[in-house]
Amino acid sequence: MTAPDESDDQRRARGLPPAPSVPGEQRPSVDPPKPVNISFGLWLASGVVSIIGFAVILIGKQGFIDELVKANKDPRISPEQIASGTTALLWVLFVGAVVFALLFALFAYKAREGTRSARTVLFVLTVITVIFQAMLFFSLVTLLAMLLAVVALVLMFLPSVSDYFPKVGRKLPS
């Protein structure tokens, strides 16, 4: 059982996550370790840079379309079909970048509050981002976004911040 006036830091020291907030109740401000604060800023920067990177790719879509039309050896595929498909793909990628940026911001915020599962979700999102951008759409701007995400992730797994993300055992503390 927890004391009603127990702080989130005291709960973390006992291996518990921060106390859930009650709707309408003011949450106490968090005081995360410096690497977690830096990581939070890097997650936000990674999301913004990723959006910018895919916006640049979308703006320069005609270059992609021209290259694909030149490389097309199938007479059944018209240049208009290539242009339409490429445009649709690039819009989907741009929207995906926006969604990933929002997910980075949400889970980085939750991780900044000390939620261990948010850190795990950020790990998975980073792996997906690295695989996708390294294998499919590689540009200098998206490379920068990917590197920012990797550095932000590493900061969240430093030994000096491990106590900020308590590991909840299989057996609940009494």
3-state secondary structure 136-161: CCCCHHHHHHHHHHHHHHHHHCCHHH
Q: Per-domain residue ranges for the chain? A: 33-156
Kindly report, residue by residue over 123-150, the tens digit of the pLDDT: 999 999 888 887 877 778 888 999 999 9
Residue 80, Cβ density class (10 Å: 0-12 exposed, 13-18 middle, ≥19 buried):
exposed
State the Rg of the chain over Cα: 21
Number of Cβ within 10 Å of residue 89's Cβ equals 14
CA 142/CA 25 separation, integer angstroms: 40
20's CB contacts (< 8 A; 6+ apart) are none
Kindly report, residue by residue over 111-127, the tens digit of the pLDDT: 998 888 899 999 999 99
Contact 171, 15 (CB under 8 A): no
pTM above 0.95, yes or no: no
* pLDDT value at residue 142: 85
CA 96, 102, 104, 108: dihedral to nearest 10 degrees? -170
The two most distant CA atoms of the chain are separated, in Å, by 74
Which tokens is 24 given? 């309408």
Secondary structure element (H or E) that encloses residue 107, with its range: helix 79-112
Kindly report, residue by residue over 67-121, the tens digit of the pLDDT: 888 988 888 888 899 899 989 989 998 999 999 999 999 999 999 988 888 999 9
